[in-house]
Amino acid sequence: MIEGVKVKKLKVIPDERGRLMEMFRCDDELFIKFGQVYLSTTYPGVVKGWHYHKLQADNIVCVKGMLKLVLYDGRDGSATKGEVSEFFLGEHNPLLVQVPKGVYHGWKCISESEAFVINCPTEPYNYKQPDEYRLDPHSSEIPYQWGRKDG
């Protein structure tokens, strides 16, 4: 596991009216601080990535569909520099993944329908100076291929 990454297994509570799933609470062990909450969607087969933040940590949950969330530790001085971690999260595996600042991340929608992602970063988005540092999702700077691994 990449240094600083935390994962919380989410509990789904169903009843005859529907389902409830708590994602993130201020008394969670993972809680750092609140910046904002936003929804992002990704169409089937689309890759969104790579990027990292210098100021914020992300708390990512996929609430509809399925994602392959991939992290790459490019941080100088990190004990896990150069490591890649994959997480499969969504309807069939409800998880919250906390991505620390400085760790590249991106995802691919692996479901047949659009994936809905909720992120609760520790900082609000700064429209004038965005805290986003991007690479092409197929850049050779990160040792990862987004294709499906059959076998």
pLDDT tens sequence across 92-125: 999 999 999 999 999 999 999 999 999 999 999 9
Domain ranges for the chain, please list them: 6-134
Dihedral sign computed on CA atoms, order 14, 45, 104, 78 = positive
Count the neighbouring beta carbons within 10 Å of the beta carbon of residue 48.
18
- pLDDT per residue rounded down to tens, the chain (151 residues): 999 999 999 999 999 999 999 999 999 999 999 999 999 999 999 999 999 999 999 999 999 999 999 999 999 999 999 999 999 999 999 999 999 999 999 999 999 999 999 999 999 999 999 999 999 999 999 999 999 989 8
The greatest distance separating any two alpha carbons of the chain, rounded to the nearest whole angstrom, comes to 51
Task: Give the separation between CA 59 and CA 32, rounded to whole angstroms.
Answer: 10
Task: Give the separation between CA 11 and CA 39, rounded to whole angstroms.
Answer: 20
pTM of structure:
0.96
Contact 44, 112 (CB under 8 A): yes
Q: Between the CA of residue 88 and those of 5, 76, 93, what are the distances in Å?
A: 15, 27, 7
Report the CATH fold assignment for 6-134. Answer: Jelly Rolls (2.60.120)
